[in-house]
Structure 1
Amino acid sequence: MSTAGPEMDAKPNMSVKTLLASIRHLSQEEKIHLFNLMGVTSEEDLNYLVYGIEEDQLAGQYPEYHVHKILLIYIPPILLILGTFGNVFSFLIMRHKAMTRLSTYIFLAALSVADSMVLLIGLMRQWLGELTGYDIRDQANWLCKATIILGYISSNTSVWIIVAVTIERFIVVCYPLKAQRFCNVARAKKTISGLVVIFLLINIHFVWTAGLNETNIQDNLLPQCDASDGHQFLVSVVWPWVDALIYCFLPFILISIFNVLIICKVAHAAGGRESLQNGCLQLRNRCKGNNNLRLTIMLLTVSFTFLLTTLPMNISIIASDFLNTNGHDNAVMSKFRLVRTISQLLMYLNHSINFFLYCATGQKFRNEVIRMFCGKNNNTLSIADHSQHLFCSRGCPHVSNAYVDARKSTEEIEM
């Protein structure tokens, strides 16, 4: 789930034991109402007010909390370095002239841009906040609004590009005769533009519902990026669930369904090829299917990685609502904070490792990486590929023309 939304990080100076004891005995609804009246909204503030304990005391008393702080300090820079360079290289390779005519590359190039924005706007801001206590959103009202809106747009667009690629691969595998019509560069560009516009319209309300508010922190009035007056319920209660639906739950369901359908179709097609009686047709179909299968495997790897890295976040969202409803203590919250931190880092990992997934599972992508870094055209691999196609055609002269036509059609939709 996007971490671009408003949140408070400072802690008020509260130490009156009798007041704390009284707060602990309130119901959860009464606590929320009291804290809303006091202008306190963040999880850290609530913990401090309820339990009267500083973060260093939490870290010393609960090892889970200490691990949570260590992870937030040392893991983000690794993800930022790997993700930023990986996404830049992915974009450069995807925009190579040999690839720009393929719709899949257009989607993946846009994905690398969206992932980079997620890392810079979300993870880097969070990491710098842990190190310095400095949040760029609190420096100007327009920065507050722009950071929130861009954060939501980039994270949502990234996820739904994966959905779009999965649906495109489903069409290619299950309805190949319709692939030329639906899976082309022009439609891919329109789809990406449409996603950006849709998520801009969905999140544009933050122009009015979020902004800088003067907050009393340790007897000082400091500007903080938060929900504007009259919109606290929408921003703090309703919108996290809307964001969870858009970013996690709905894409998770769609990608799971289409992946299952793709795998079933590929398995069925493999069984069908084995039953072909004509050896020439079998060779022709095998030659046509090799590259298509490689691309399918690569894209399945990308989408399954998304499912695995966002599943913990889905679970933690539900668990968070359960804990808030039924109450909690410091020990439970320290454990949950660690789980939530791991879930968030896994979510950011999804935006950081696509380059390595492409290299591991995409042969044509690896060839382009070798060409880009080593200055080699990898002619050996290319000759091997073409010789395989020539063998298929030469072995069955009467089907060679049909194969060439099919090959041209296939190349429009595969890497």
Structure 2
Amino acid sequence: MANGSQSMDMYTLSNSTLTTAETFTAYKAADIVNLYLPPTLIILGVFLNSLSVLVMRSPYFRKVSTSVYLTASSVNDVMGLVLALLPHWLFVNYPYVYSRGAVTDGLCKFFNFYGFSNTDVTLIITACMTADRAYVIKFPLNVARVNTVRRAMYVIGVSVVIVMVKNCHLWFASAMTPPDRTERMCVVVTTGTVTWLSYYITQVWPWIQSVFVLLCLVLILISNIVIIINVRRSAMMHFHDGGRRNAHTADNDTPRRESGASHSAATSGRLRHMTAMMLAESFTTLLLSCPFSWYQQYSEKHPDIYGDPDKVATNRLLFSVLFYMLYSNKCVNFFLYLVSGHKFRLALTHLVQCACCSNNVSDT
């Protein structure tokens, strides 16, 4: 689970504080959110991402590098929902399912490592995919000389290795929360670890994580700017070329002029759809992922949010909302592609039609 780098001793609550916090409205609202929202996200996310993978394997996308990134992202999202969000949901609603001990601490080592890594992989794949699209649009002749699908696989593999190396320390510094902590199952601990690891967790790794997120953000923004500029330039070139061709035609060639204008409009429309799809996906990822990262950095620097019942209740609700915003990002991409991607809709329609035909044949 994507949890913050926190010392267990620093944030241990007293029983009286926790008991009082449970009477606040924010605490009860967090209980409702924790009970109903995660299973909704899990069921919806697994179904929609599985459908996205099937669409990406269709003839419309199979040989396009973008389909490799989208398939990897969808598979990563399904695994994150099942392997990270499901255990979190069980803990916050049914904590007695987990018996405390060495086994549970071992599970937390995996949950922390995988939760952080899963979120980072989502972000870095989005950044790489955006950069890949920008490169394809900027240098179309270069793209024709390379195997973009194989290159995408290589980039994804390198990205996963980078993320795993960045987060490998979580295997050595994770444990289950104290009994009086209820908003999450696992935390990163610094007590009881060797000096250099404690220093790395508290002083070095937060900077590495911040730089990682910032680099992905910058890459996404720059790539989107390149895409927008080149798409607009291409649309203008088609428009002017169509205008020059129409200027040299006679008045009795009106059907040809209309055909040229229609072609330019269709080309411009396709470019706008692609740009909208790209912008919607990348900026939605940032919008849903960054707030939780910022919250974690704030909570690490302000341990007083655990100091009184009102703050405990408010923090529990805030943590739940931002945490599930992070995981809602694993469910919304399908709708973004459906709304802004013309080819995605065509491929999905073809997939549904094939499924219906197969059912009809089996029934007969």
- The two structures have a TM-score, normalised by structure 2, of 0.76
Q: How does 1:267-286 map to 2 (within 5 A)?
A: 267-276=232-241, 277-279=244-246
In structure 2, the residue matched to 1:175 is: 139
1:110 deviation in Å? 0.5
Counterpart of 2:2, as a letter, is T
Residues 377 and 179 of structure 1, relative CA distance in 2, 3 Å threshold: farther
Aligned counterparts of 1:355 and 1:238: Cα–Cα separation in 2: 36
Q: Does the 8 A contact of 1:371 with 1:377 survive in 2?
A: no
Residue 71, structure 1, aligned to residue 30, structure 2: no
Counterpart of 1:149, as a letter, is F
Q: Does the 8 A contact of 2:231 with 2:275 survive in 1?
A: no
Q: Say which of 275, 293, 304 aligns to 1:296.
A: 275
Counterpart of 1:188, as a letter, is A
Aligned counterparts of 2:83 and 2:99: Cα–Cα separation in 1: 10
Counterpart of 2:277, as a letter, is M
* Matched position secondary structure for 1:96: coil
Q: Does the 8 A contact of 1:6 with 1:148 survive in 2?
A: no
* Matched position secondary structure for 1:3: coil
Higher RCO (C-alpha under 8 Å, 6+ residues apart): 2
Residues 285 and 144 of structure 1, relative CA distance in 2, 3 Å threshold: same
Residues 315 and 182 of structure 1, relative CA distance in 2, 3 Å threshold: farther
Q: How does 1:91-106 map to 2 (within 5 A)?
A: 91-106=53-68
Deviates more, 1:71-80 or 1:167-176: 167-176
RMSD: 3.6
Aligned counterparts of 1:64 and 1:237: Cα–Cα separation in 2: 32
Residue 260, structure 1, aligned to residue 239, structure 2: no
Aligned counterparts of 2:48 and 2:316: Cα–Cα separation in 1: 29
1:333 deviation in Å? 4.6
1:187 deviation in Å? 0.6
Counterpart of 1:104, as a letter, is T
In structure 1, the residue matched to 2:20 is: 57
Residues 185 and 86 of structure 1, relative CA distance in 2, 3 Å threshold: same
Q: Does the 8 A contact of 1:169 with 1:296 survive in 2?
A: no
How far does the alpha carbon of each residue in 1:4-43 deviate from its partner, in whole angstroms, 9 at most, with x for none? 5687xxxxxxxxxxxxxxxxxxxxxxxxxxxx7xx625x4
1:217 deviation in Å? 6.2
Q: Does the 8 A contact of 1:273 with 1:282 survive in 2?
A: no
Q: How does 1:201-220 map to 2 (within 5 A)?
A: 201-207=165-171, 209-210=172-173
Aligned counterparts of 2:178 and 2:288: Cα–Cα separation in 1: 38
- Identity percentage of aligned residues: 27
Counterpart of 1:55, as a letter, is L
Counterpart of 1:200, as a letter, is M
Q: Say which of 53, 76, 80 aligns to 1:118.
A: 80
* Matched position secondary structure for 1:275: helix
Residues 123 and 292 of structure 1, relative CA distance in 2, 3 Å threshold: same
How far does the alpha carbon of each residue in 1:292-345 deviate from its partner, in whole angstroms, 9 at most, with x for none? 543332222111211221242244245334533899644345334433322211
1:102 deviation in Å? 0.8
Gaps of at least 5 residues in structure 1 are: 8-35, 219-223, 379-415
In structure 1, the residue matched to 2:250 is: none
Counterpart of 1:258, as a letter, is S
In structure 1, the residue matched to 2:329 is: 350
Q: Does the 8 A contact of 1:309 with 1:349 survive in 2?
A: yes
In structure 2, the residue matched to 1:243 is: 209
Residues 302 and 377 of structure 1, relative CA distance in 2, 3 Å threshold: farther
Aligned counterparts of 1:217 and 1:329: Cα–Cα separation in 2: 17
Q: How does 1:147-162 map to 2 (within 5 A)?
A: 147-162=111-126
* Matched position secondary structure for 1:53: helix
1:266 deviation in Å? 2.7
How far does the alpha carbon of each residue in 1:102-137 deviate from its partner, in whole angstroms, 9 at most, with x for none? 111111000001111221222112111112114599
Q: Does the 8 A contact of 1:302 with 1:357 survive in 2?
A: yes
Residues 267 and 168 of structure 1, relative CA distance in 2, 3 Å threshold: same
1:77 deviation in Å? 1.0
In structure 1, the residue matched to 2:252 is: none
1:171 deviation in Å? 1.7
- The two structures have a TM-score, normalised by structure 1, of 0.68
How far does the alpha carbon of each residue in 1:339-383 deviate from its partner, in whole angstroms, 9 at most, with x for none? 3322211111111221222222222222222222232799xxxxx
Residues 175 and 285 of structure 1, relative CA distance in 2, 3 Å threshold: farther
In structure 1, the residue matched to 2:314 is: 335
Q: Does the 8 A contact of 1:4 with 1:147 survive in 2?
A: no
